[in-house]
Amino acid sequence: MAAKDAGTDSQKHFSLVVSELSKLSSLRDARNPLVIDGESLDMASVVAVAKHCVGAVLSGDILEKLGKSVRLLNERLRKGEIVYGINTGFGGSADTRCSPGEMHTLQRSLLQHLNCGVLPMPGGGSDTTSMSLKEEWVRAAILIRANSLARGHSAVRPKVIESLVTLLLYDVIPLVPLRGSISASGDLSPLSYIAGALEGNPDIPCWIGSQGSRALVSAPEALASIGLSPITFDPKEGLGLVNGTAVSCAVATLTLHSMHNLVLLSQLLTAMNVEAILGTSTSFAPFISAVRPHPGQSEVASIILSALSGSQLAEPLFEQHATSSHGLFQDRYSLRTAPQWLGPFIEDLLLAHRQLEVEMNSTTDNPLIDPSTGLIYHGGNFQAVSVTSAMEKSRLAAQAVGRMLFAQFTEMLNPATNRGLPPNLCADDPSTSFTMKGLDTAMASYISELSFLGNPVHNHVVSAEMGNQSVNSLALVSARYTDTAVEILTLMCATTLYAACQALDLRAMERKFAKELEDAFTNLILDQLDGGDLDDKTLASLSKTAISYILQEMPKTTTMDTKQRFGKILWGSLADLVQTVAEEELVVDLGTLVGFIDQAAEVTEALYDDVRQRYLFQDADVSDLLGRASRRLYRYVRHDLGVPMHRGVIDHPVSAPQLPLPGRNAAGNVIANGNLRHEEIIVNGQTHGSGETDGWRKRTIGHWVSVINGSIKSGKIMDVVVDILKEGSAA
């Protein structure tokens, strides 16, 4: 049974998620119908049916058990016994009784009073998505309810369960109101719309048709389109369909699936941000977790350390900025304590996973029939607090991950904390370019909303239904808000990934400049020797001092435009140059030294402009400097998704004439196919313009973040994440 095996205490979070994603991929690709047996449903199966429209069939092995529970109930009723919800009223009205001839009417009456949700009306000013459950949620709910009924404790005929499965097979999905459930006696009202579709209620709309051409029709029309006839429910069948936790469990399962993915991605994003900020790997050293052996902390530290393997930007183990005589000695908390911050929450998510897999393989209605003894039990398995508990933990985890990413993001954009990156990660001059500043504000908006959503739902319970439901789980409400939280966290992950790629490109540009600086000064020396006043030894000494000073001051002057920046730096080097002259007993007069400074400033400024232009328009690629994980994610963003480095104001869509759209990559995103040159741009074999003309269709910053966001929401990026994790675990 999946619920018994899921997420043992010793199981690592990443291995559970990788296993689920692997199974999901197999189910999605094979397209074989899922076999419903009431025992073995798991998260991957729910996602396959809900998101990828994989069909389902009822196991033939359970038909006898289903028939036995129906026969047992009918025998009790023939003896005149009172059974709740079959010959009594419902909830606080259970003090009423009905005659045997009214039992079918009672089931219709149940659905009648529960079909009370509010759906959009034609011309009502709202679309179907704003007031109804997502189709994928309803698919998952149908699957989970069918699985629960298949356990044989509910006295629901196989015919009824098979009709539920047929809805999935043909993707006929009732339109279910978004609100109205307190998930106390189960999700009564939402499930009544699924039951109402089966009984052919003409006032319940259903989605039919293939994806991309869906249409809403009445339930009778929808049933007829797939060869089903409306069902008249026998005693207990209406109640059996609506009295359960399937809707809240469905929304929770799909939401937790996404949350699992984001938590794994956030660990790799943290590794990218360590590299972007020139942080240290030592924060994730095994010894630190070994002396505080929480399993979640150890796992996160191991993943991040493995992700940094091979990085030329992050400080290696035990070299914690040891050679730096200035600046913050340790990384700030958002990076340094990521394992301690995330670890407890992945432990919570493992528990949430177990809770939901138990729930989806449980009988959650009332009364319950034990076919092995013939006894009927009246209890409260419909109280969905286990689902609420899973969702409260997941939502709190989402807020924690978001808060960490927000801190990392703002640290990366701020020149006071980012160890030499330009303000707002602009590639051009900071006086007129504010590349990531809007995203900085957007991230503050996201985390503020996410933090509000992090508050608990379960403590807002009020007494309902004549005081009978004096405590109720609010599981569906909690699951819906957790879904919203996950959506916001997805935005934060996408924004962080976009910014991290930009920061890493800027690091590569910085390294390229530093690498070419010595050659530039060598050329300066040669020019001076041809007609200058200084000998080669003096020039070499002055150049060495100037280069050292330039590299030292570069991180401190990132807020300056290029034209002012290098003059300030070189003139600031005067004291160091004078000291070199004195220490090495060089013969240099002040006028000659001033001339050297002026020439050095010109050479350095020209080199920086040249390196920047070449990097932005010709050879932007930081891959060789990156650790194992960052390299894969960077290439995925830049090449697979076609999201380019942001080059500054020139990339504003109305800043210069547009080129024709240059085609699409395998992911369907517009990119320039060909070699980008500063002098000329080649797109699909055609040369376009020269000079500052750009070789790709300009897009807003939000557009590129949206491309990444779409990849995260669809789960496509998880193929890369899983490969990274598998490589790391095998290393």
> Which positions are annotated as active-site residues?
84
* HSE-CB of 193 using CA atoms within 13 angstroms: 31
What three-state secondary structure class fits 376?
A: strand
Structure tokens given for 4:
């018994």
| Residues facing residue 280 across a β-bridge | 315
Report yes or no: 529 and 596 within 8 Å, Cβ to Cβ. no
SS (H, E, C) 132-149: ECCHHHHHHHHHHHHHHH
Beta strands 368-370 and 375-377, pairing class = antiparallel
Report yes or no: 350 and 358 within 8 Å, Cβ to Cβ. no
Instruction: Give the DSSP H/E element, type plus range, for residue 368.
Output: strand 368-370
What three-state secondary structure class fits 622?
A: coil
**Burial code of 437-456, b = ≥16 C-beta within 10 A, e = fewer?**
eebbebbeebbeebbebbee
Burial of 107 (0-12, 13-18, 19+ CB in 10 A): buried
What three-state secondary structure class fits 339?
A: helix
Question: In the sheet that 205-208 helps form, which strands lie side by side, from edge to edge?
Answer: 173-174, 205-208, 215-218
Query: Residues 538-541: contacts with CB within 8 Å, 24+ apart?
Result: 538/586, 538/587, 538/588, 539/596, 541/580, 541/584, 541/586
Report yes or no: 398 and 486 within 8 Å, Cβ to Cβ. yes
Residue 287 per-residue DSSP state: H
Structure tokens given for 7:
């997420």
C-alpha dist (Å) from residue 591 to 541, 569, 594: 17, 18, 5
Nearest in space to 544 (alpha carbons), one of 525, 566, 564, 530: 525
Can you tell me the distance from the alpha carbon of 695 to that of 20, in angstroms, rounded to the nearest whole number? 41
